[in-house]
Structure 1
């Protein structure tokens, strides 16, 4: 999957288009120091977007913006190991 284009919206969200689903617009929001998928404006000609696709989209956008390290260190990504 490739990130084709992205840009900021009026409310500091990011709108992105990926080659996997070029007719669908993906809206990202910032939380702390990284971005996550907020809404996908899905278009019927595109394939169905599953959770794995959403994670890949988040990784690609955060890599592009230089926030991938913060994304990978987020609390929800940490394994809950009991000692």
Structure 2
């Protein structure tokens, strides 16, 4: 299920998302910026579809159980090997 997302601008989200590519990023605790982002997605079908598609790709590449499990396994193996 591909959906566009709006995320808060913080260090963790900046590692995963790129503004206007795979998410819309707004300043934290800024209700006006959030409202503007919602309206922009509502009114701009091309942006909405692009963000949804790219966000889904990001999820599949970086956020699935398989990907995260593999990363944890590699970290554990490195720690055990030291």
Query: Is TM (by shorter chain) over 0.5?
Result: no
Looking at CA atoms only, which structure, 1 or 2, has the larger radius of gyration?
2
Taking structure 2 as the reference length, the TM-score comes to 0.25
Structure with the higher fraction of residues in strand conformation: 1
Taking structure 1 as the reference length, the TM-score comes to 0.25
